[in-house]
């Protein structure tokens, strides 16, 4: 069975500082990896995903994540955060693909950006 571990439940940082949100997974087969962002009382929005190809994936708002197969990690990074990045971030994994896949989520990391 697959599992996802987000090592930090909360990460407070100052505006314009760099940030890294850690994510490790375990799976016996090939996986697809995702980062979702959730703002208060809202659903989840896809931030970025790794399906295949380049191990470094980027989002349009400056976040990036690197798939490291040997370390089974998919850490999320941003070189300079904004107040508006304050939200809950979830790492997720699915095994295989197809139209009936299921996502397994980590417990989430609350990123709080302070002025």
**Contacting positions for other proteins (CB under 8 A):** 32, 34, 36, 41-46, 49, 51, 90, 94, 97-103, 105-108, 110
Q: At its nearest, how many Å lie between other proteins and the CB of residue 105? A: 4
Q: At its nearest, how many Å lie between other proteins and the CB of residue 100? A: 5
Neighbour count for residue 84 (Cβ, 10 Å): 10
**Contact status, residue 69 vs residue 77, Cβ threshold 8 Å:** no
13 versus 105: smaller Cβ distance to other proteins: 105
43 versus 115: smaller Cβ distance to other proteins: 43
**Rounded-to-integer distance, Cα 67 and Cα 23, Å:** 10
- Give the pairing type, strands 104-105 and 87-95: antiparallel
69 versus 102: smaller Cβ distance to other proteins: 102
Q: At its nearest, how many Å lie between other proteins and the CB of residue 109? A: 10
Cα first-last separation, the chain: 41
């Amino acid at each position: 069975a697959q599992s996802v571990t987000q090592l930090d439940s909360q990460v407070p940082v100052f505006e314009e500082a760099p940030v890294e949100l850690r994510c490790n997974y375990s799976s016996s087969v090939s996986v697809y990896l995702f980062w979702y962002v959730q703002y208060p009382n809202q659903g989840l929005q896809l931030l970025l995903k790794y399906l295949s190809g380049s191990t470094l994936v980027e989002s349009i708002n400056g976040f990036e994540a690197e798939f490291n197969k040997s370390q089974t990690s998919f850490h999320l990074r941003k070189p300079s955060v904004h107040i508006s990045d304050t939200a809950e971030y979830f790492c997720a994994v699915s095994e295989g693909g197809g139209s009936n896949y299921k996502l397994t989520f980590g417990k989430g990391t609350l990123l709080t950006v302070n002025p």
